[in-house]
C-alpha cells in the first residue's frame, strides 16, 4: 500500500510539471492590456497609501499597521480580480462607471 501511494504521489508530481501551451501573441497583448488597465486603477485607488510618509521618529514606526496592511492586501486583490475578469470577459477598454457616470481618475496637481 505504501509503494502504491508513493507511485501515485510521484505521478501526480510529474503530471503537475507538464508544459503548458504557450500563449499566442493576441493572448499576450490582451493580458498586457488587462494588466496595464488594472495597474492604472490600482495606482489611482492607492494614492493615499503610496503617499504615506515614513514614520522614523515613532516606536515601531516602520512597521505598518494592521489596517494599512489590510487595505493594501485588499487593493492588490482588487487588482488581481480586475486582471482575471478582464482576461475572462474581454478587455472593453472603457473606464469604470458608478451609476452610469464615468469615474474621474484622481491626479496630483502641482506636487
The DSSP secondary structure of the chain, one letter per residue, reads -HHHHHHHHHHHHHHHTPPPPPPPHHHHHHHHHHHHHHHHHHHHHTHHHHTPPP-TTSTTTTSPPHHHHHHHHHHHHHHHHHHHHHHHH----PPPEETTEEPPPP--S--
CB atoms within 10 A of CB 89: 9
Output the nine-digit C-alpha cell for 97.
Answer: 462607471
Give the phi and the psi of residue 97 in degrees, each rounded to 5: -130, 145
Confidence grade of residue 55 (pLDDT, cut at 50, 70, 90): low
Domain boundaries, the chain: 26-48+60-91
Output 66 or 28, whichever has higher pLDDT.
28
What global pTM score does this model have? 0.56
Amino acid at each position: 500500500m505504501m509503494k502504491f501511494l508513493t507511485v501515485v504521489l510521484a505521478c501526480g508530481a510529474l503530471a503537475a510539471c507538464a508544459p503548458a501551451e504557450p500563449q499566442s501573441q493576441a493572448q499576450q497583448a490582451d493580458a498586457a492590456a488587462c494588466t496595464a488597465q488594472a495597474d492604472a486603477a490600482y495606482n489611482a485607488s492607492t494614492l493615499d497609501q503610496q503617499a504615506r510618509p515614513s514614520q522614523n521618529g515613532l516606536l515601531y514606526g516602520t512597521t505598518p499597521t494592521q489596517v494599512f496592511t489590510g487595505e493594501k492586501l485588499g487593493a492588490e486583490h482588487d487588482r488581481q480580480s480586475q486582471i482575471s475578469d478582464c482576461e475572462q470577459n474581454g478587455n472593453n477598454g472603457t473606464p469604470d462607471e458608478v451609476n452610469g457616470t464615468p469615474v474621474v481618475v484622481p491626479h496630483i496637481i502641482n506636487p
